Structure 1
């Protein structure tokens, strides 16, 4: 399976933002041209929660405040 990862030169951040797929790149483009977005962070944190007695974790692709 081919991977389409790379760096995107973001106007919002003034730097590079890493993406791992074409879908992530498409969402990144939308966020970059959305006026209320003031920053874009790739894989910014790891969320951990206990659900039904099991520990679950997730790393979101982007954070765009």
Structure 2
């Protein structure tokens, strides 16, 4: 399949740098990782991982800090 579309997006520079480090270790270019993500959205019919809010503790025990 020929790649003809271009994406321009803004991301947090620190997140981008950390992601590039991980992807470099995996030998996966950023563009390939984004393509993999988009293909998973198509295949699953949605975001391919759970998107939830973290559960905060009801109370914080200062003695345990």
Normalising by structure 2, we get a TM-score of 0.29
Q: Which structure shows the bigger proportion of residues in helix conformation?
A: 2
Q: Which structure shows the bigger proportion of residues in strand conformation?
A: 1
Larger radius of gyration: 2
Greater RCO (CA < 8 Å, at least 6 residues apart) = 1
Normalising by structure 1, we get a TM-score of 0.29
